[in-house]
Amino acid sequence: MLNISTNKLNRHVDLTGYRSGQKVFHIRHYKHFNRFLLAFALFAFLILFLPWTQTVSGTGYLTTLKPDQRPQTIQSPIPGRIEKWYVQEGDFVEQGDTILFISEVKSEYFDPQLLERTGQQLRAKSMSATAYEEKVGALNAQIAALESERLLKLEQARNKLLQARLKVQSDSIDLEAARTNIAIAQRQYDRVEQLQAEGLKAVTDVEEKRLKLQETQAKLISQQNKLLASRNEVINSEVEINRVQAEYTDKVSKARSEMYTAQSGQFDTEAQVSKLKNEFSNYEIRNRMLYIRAPQRGVINKAIQAGIGQTFKEGEQLVNIMPSDYQLAVETYIRPIDLPLMHIGEPVRIQFDGWPAIVFSGWPNLSYGTYGGQVVAIETFISSNGKYRVLLAPDPDEYPWPNGLSVGSGATTLALLEDVPIWFEIWRQLNGFPPDYYQPENNAGTSKK
């Protein structure tokens, strides 16, 4: 029967007279069952108002807090060939201990005495630079001597010019005196000749005065010649000054040209010396690179390049080393939607792989086997796995992490957020909403201030 009729059968037929009806419709059964349902509903309703801690979960692995404490590989900055190993996997090494020795594979570094021969070239070039320097000093001294000699020669020529000018003046005065004498002699001759014509003087007197006049004329001509000669000496002295100036200018210029040539050779040699020093330092450093040494204290984990005679390029990984002194940290990854909820210094609960734990996500105080941590760094660029990287350090106020942990083991993290009622968390999970966005108390106080 589909029981689609509007007439209710139980109203017209009494089922309690039957045995099965008596068992089903027993009044006491209803009473106990209703009490149970009421108590269960009341208990469930009260549970909905219990506090629930919102969390942001993530997975990651153990790493070190500082970059220089993480496992690293040792590379060779130069290409080479493995010649000898000094360690084996699992050995503990100190900083600076030799791990292996390599040899050169480039032909320009095959010479075993390359460093010594480069040093000889450097010393030879240094001596050449010193010789050039001494030559420049000698040329400077020569230039100074030429300058001093030029001054003396010019002073001598100027003195000679002054003497010639004074002689010109003296000859000019003598010429004027000679002209005065010839005028006097001419008047005396005219007077005696007039007196002789009058008969007052003898002919011998006239001839004597004529002779004296001729002598005076001769002295005048001689004095004129001396004056011309003195003026010629003045011109010669001026020419001599110009000649001395030009001569020593040429000598000084030539000496300066030689000095500049020597300086050019000196500078070129000094440049070659600097280049050789650079090459010598490079060869010296390169020789030290033939011994691959440990950058810090640690344990040799793995020999990536093995064997003897194996060649490798520069930058290739040779050995993996794990530092002995390190501070553990957890590197976990969270979803981009949870990134605004993470802040520096927030508490985080961590469950390590291999360590038994009972975890209650919403009640971290009831969890067992988890350890405390706090956020120390949040990466602001998304990783290749589509999540953001968060670095966690041990919480100093919690129990210390186990001693048996090793770098690289896995970990599960729960970042603790706000406390909300359970009904709110159920409603959030059913609707797929993210946890409540909030600011920590210190940040909120700072923003208010």
Residue-level pLDDT at 438? 53
User: Number of helices and strands (H, E) in the chain?
Assistant: 6, 14
Residue-level pLDDT at 197? 77
Taking domain 51-68+326-448, whether its CATH number is 2.40.30.170 is answered by yes
Computed over its alpha carbons, how large is the radius of gyration of the chain?
Answer: 60
Residue-level pLDDT at 213? 77
Walk across the sheet containing 317-323 and list its strands. 72-75, 317-323, 298-303, 92-93
Residue-level pLDDT at 53? 67
Taking domain 71-104+290-323, whether its CATH number is 2.40.50.100 is answered by yes
Q: Where are the domains of the chain?
A: 1-47, 51-68+326-448, 71-104+290-323, 114-288
pLDDT digits (tens, 9 = 90+) for 146-193: 888 888 888 888 888 888 888 888 888 888 888 888 888 888 878 877
pLDDT digits (tens, 9 = 90+) for 21-42: 666 665 555 667 777 888 888 8
Residue-level pLDDT at 1? 47
CA-to-CA dists, residue 279 to 58, 124, 127, 273, 276, angstroms: 54, 15, 18, 10, 5
User: Cα–Cα distance between 41 and 225 in angstroms, integer?
Assistant: 156
Q: Which CATH class is domain 114-288?
A: mainly alpha
Below-70 pLDDT ranges, the chain: 1-18, 21-31, 52-54, 355-369, 416-420, 425, 429, 431-449
Residue-level pLDDT at 127? 92
